[in-house]
Amino acid sequence: MRLARPLIIFMGLVLVWQMIVTISAAPPYILPGPLAVAKAWVHAPGLFLHHAAITGAEIILGLGLGFVLGAGSALIMAYFRPAERWLLPVLVISQAIPVFALAPILVLWLGYGMASKVAMATLIIFFPVTAAFHDGLKRTEPGWVDLAITMNASRWAILRHLRIPAALPVLGSGLRVATAVAPIGAIVGEWVGSSGGLGYLMLHANARVQVDVMFAALFTLCVMALVLYFIVDKGVRHVVSWQPESLNFN
């Protein structure tokens, strides 16, 4: 059932899609049916896979970089109190700038290649990861900290053996959110200016009124985002398997 459920949901959604197309009688240049989109995909799978690889690499690089930078900032803030006092307000203020508005500037600075998209994805991921991990590191159960202090633990040992592991579930939630939003960063970056990737392919197809190609690109992106999310989710569950919720005690 665990494998069947996503398949049933997928089939259901495709069915709803086909029904909307049939009932509304929308012309194919507005809303192509699932069959037309599937045909477009099968017609040139190499095209979609090529651009998916570019976007996928941008997303994964951005996710990795955003995660490392975000987790690192949270750790620095947790360990050095002055860093927290100075860095936290800057972080909060930085969130007032819509990341989308930075896309043209990043393309200007970093060029049409992958770097500007990776930077976009990194920026979008950085904050949820930092905020979640920082929160988790600050909310260590006080009883545990007391116990560690009576055991003569140094601040560093408390961070390493207590606060970091205790914050992992919250960091995991942050990473899940980050994984869900990472494709946005990459795609917006591609829309602003690029020479490859699924966002580029969609814009390109749009200009030529190849709506079926646009939808096929979108579909490819969705599948990629879902697969990435499930991999990250599985990884997070594995790392924090000690959490009572995931032990299935019902």
Partner 1 sequence: MNQTTHSTAPGSSPIGVHLSNAHVRWGAEVLFDGLNITLATGQWTCLLGPSGVGKSMLLRLILGLSAAKPGISGVVECSDGAALPGRVSYMAQRDLLMPWLSVIQNVCIGSRFRGEQQNFEAAHAHLKAVGLSDSVDAMPATLSGGMRQRAALARTLMEDHPVVLMDEPFSALDAITRVRLQDMAAEALKGRTVLLVTHDPLEALRLGHSIHVMSGRPARVDEPLVLSSDVPRHVDDGEILALQGELLHRLAEAVE
Stretch that binds partner 1, among 1-9, 92-100, 143-151, 186-194 (CB under 8 A): 143-151
Number of residues counted as binding partner 1 (CB under 8 A): 24
Q: Which is nearer to partner 1, 109 or 242 (CB)?
A: 242
Stretch that binds partner 1, among 26-34, 57-65, 163-171, 172-180 (CB under 8 A): 163-171
Does 166 participate in binding partner 1 (rule CB under 8 A)?
yes
Stretch that binds partner 1, among 58-66, 128-136, 150-158, 195-203 (CB under 8 A): 150-158
Does 6 participate in binding partner 1 (rule CB under 8 A)?
no
Residues 6+ apart with CB under 8 A from 216: 37, 38, 40, 41, 48
Does 165 participate in binding partner 1 (rule CB under 8 A)?
yes
Q: State the nearest-atom distance from the C-beta of 134 to partner 1, in Å.
A: 19
Q: Cα 95 to the chain's mean position, in Å?
A: 17
Identify the CA nearest to 184 among candidates 41, 93, 62, 6. 62
For residues 66 and 98, give the distance between their C-alpha atoms in angstroms, rounded to a whole number: 17
Of 143, 207, 208, 248, which lies in the binding site for partner 1, with binding defined by CB under 8 A?
143
Does 159 participate in binding partner 1 (rule CB under 8 A)?
no
Does 149 participate in binding partner 1 (rule CB under 8 A)?
yes
- Are 116 and 109 a contacting pair, CB within 8 Å? yes
Residues found near partner 1 in the complex (CB under 8 A): 141, 143-144, 146-153, 157-158, 161-162, 165-166, 168, 240, 242-244, 247, 249
